[in-house]
């Protein structure tokens, strides 16, 4: 129905055809009857209503930005056999799509792209509601994942759902997108996921929000706006602790680095000094934080660690005995 109205009836380039064939606006029931008449069946499955399986409806949040629901869902968007995950954020108070990002798998980088776009467009939300995926919630009690740490530094409270039914609103929105976007990808001649990410956030989210979103109960928003100069790189990064080794170097990702002052001289620190390595989530560049100051690094190219030696695999008891004997002989 939407394609008929948008591409034919209200399309200026089709005005001649509209008058020539006396085409008119058609109702939802017209298309429903049309489908039944020609024996078309919906490709989407609908469960039969069962009063025993119903859940009481929850009132949506009163303020926009008070509760943002996020989810990652794989789907074959280009119908070529390759699934990509949509990392989606919607607002509980209005049902609006706030941002989304497509990646080959559900991953930290996808959620960070989604979060950055959300904050740039609307601001920092008060709460984020998600499932217990290990990217979002650590299986170890009391520990934060990298995404959890980012939200904590932004002042966002994270709430976790125990079941898919508990986050039904974002699941339903994913269902709506899956039912429409595949056709709209063809309509707009989108061929790559980089094009799709741009189209989704700059055009498609607004298009769907005009159709399906609703007004919040209160006009006041809970989003906290950030300035255009807000430095995302200090928060949307992987942070890990390291200790200085001999020669004022430290090891990260099997490579040795030295810390540089502003004049490119080597920052001299005692062996055992603890630093924080910051790896940018988008371009994977590295910096170091030490006493709330950020430093650039120098990679020591000829000092890569031998990963095979560090991660030697023991196949049986005989190899274990031989390896232990080698270690004892070196002592």
> Is residue 135 situated within a structural domain?
yes
Domain count, the chain: 3
What are the pLDDT digits (tens) for 204-233? 999 999 999 999 999 999 999 999 899 999
> Is residue 326 situated within a structural domain?
no
- What is the model's pLDDT at position 200? 98
What are the pLDDT digits (tens) for 78-115? 999 999 999 999 999 999 999 999 999 999 999 999 99
> Is residue 68 situated within a structural domain?
yes
Looking at the chain, list the stretches that DSSP marks H as alpha helix, in order from N- to C-terminal side.
2-4, 15-20, 28-37, 108-121, 146-154, 168-187, 193-199, 205-212, 307-310, 317-330
**Alpha-carbon dihedral of residues 167, 170, 174, 180, nearest 10 degrees?**
140
The verdict on 199 and 71 lying in the same domain is yes
Separation CA 220–CA 11 (nearest Å): 37
Separation CA 94–CA 206 (nearest Å): 13
Q: What is the CB neighbour count within 10 angstroms for residue 87?
A: 24
- What is the model's pLDDT at position 316? 67
- What is the model's pLDDT at position 216? 95
The verdict on 106 and 149 lying in the same domain is yes
* Interior/surface letters 183-203, b for 16+ CB within 10 angstroms, e for the rest: ebbeeeebeebeebbebbbee
The pTM (predicted TM-score) of the whole model is 0.84
Ranges of residues in the chain whose predicted pLDDT is under 70: 43-57, 302-316, 318, 323, 325-331
- What is the model's pLDDT at position 142? 79
Domain boundary residue, one of 197, 212, 227: 212
The verdict on 27 and 98 lying in the same domain is no
Helix 168-187 to helix 205-212 angle (10° resolution) is 120
Q: Quick check: helix, strand or coil at residue 219? A: coil
Radius of gyration of the chain (CA): 27
Instruction: Report which of 282, 288, 281 is spatially closest to residue 250, judged by C-alpha positions.
Output: 288
Instruction: List the domain range (segments joined by +) for residue 276.
Output: 237-307
Q: What is the CB neighbour count within 10 angstroms for residue 328?
A: 8
The verdict on 69 and 171 lying in the same domain is yes
The verdict on 66 and 159 lying in the same domain is yes
The verdict on 159 and 278 lying in the same domain is no
The verdict on 265 and 155 lying in the same domain is no
The verdict on 208 and 267 lying in the same domain is no
DSSP 5: I
Contacts (Cβ under 8 Å, ≥6 apart) of 180: 2, 208
- What is the model's pLDDT at position 40? 84
The verdict on 126 and 164 lying in the same domain is yes
Q: Is there a contact between 130 and 151 (Cβ–Cβ < 8 Å)?
A: no
* Interior/surface letters 98-109, b for 16+ CB within 10 angstroms, e for the rest: bbbbbbeebbbb
- What is the model's pLDDT at position 39? 87
């Amino acid at each position: 129905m939407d394609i008929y109205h948008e591409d034919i009836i209200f399309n200026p380039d089709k005005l001649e055809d509209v008058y020539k064939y006396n085409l008119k606006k058609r109702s939802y029931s017209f298309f429903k009857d049309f489908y039944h008449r020609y024996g078309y069946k919906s490709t989407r499955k609908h469960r039969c209503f069962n009063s025993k399986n119903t859940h009481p409806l929850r009132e949506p949040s009163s303020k926009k930005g008070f509760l943002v629901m996020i989810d990652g869902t794989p789907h074959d968007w280009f119908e070529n056999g390759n699934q990509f995950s949509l990392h989606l954020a919607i607002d509980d108070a209005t049902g609006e799509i706030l941002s989304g990002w497509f990646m080959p798998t559900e991953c930290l980088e996808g959620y960070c792209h989604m979060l950055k776009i959300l904050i740039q467009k609307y601001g920092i939300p008060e709460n984020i509601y998600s499932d217990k995926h290990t990217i979002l919630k650590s299986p170890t009690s009391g520990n934060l994942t990298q995404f959890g740490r980012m939200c904590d530094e932004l002042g966002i409270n994270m709430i976790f759902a125990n079941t898919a039914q508990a986050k039904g609103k974002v699941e339903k929105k994913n269902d709506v997108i899956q039912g429409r976007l595949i056709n709209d990808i063809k309509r707009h001649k989108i061929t790559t996921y980089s094009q799709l990410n741009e189209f989704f956030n700059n055009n498609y989210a607004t298009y769907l929000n005009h159709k399906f979103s609703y007004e919040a109960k209160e006009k006041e928003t809970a989003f906290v706006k950030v300035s255009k100069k807000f430095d995302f790189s200090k928060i949307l990064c992987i942070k890990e602790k390291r200790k200085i080794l001999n020669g004022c170097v430290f090891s990260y990702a099997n490579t040795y680095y030295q810390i540089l002052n502003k004049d490119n001289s080597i920052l001299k620190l005692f062996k055992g000094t603890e630093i924080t390595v910051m790896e940018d989530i988008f371009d994977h560049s590295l910096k170091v934080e030490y006493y709330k100051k950020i430093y650039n690094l120098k990679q020591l190219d000829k000092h890569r660690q031998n990963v095979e030696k560090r991660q030697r695999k023991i196949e049986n008891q005989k190899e274990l005995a031989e390896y232990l004997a080698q270690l004892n002989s070196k002592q």
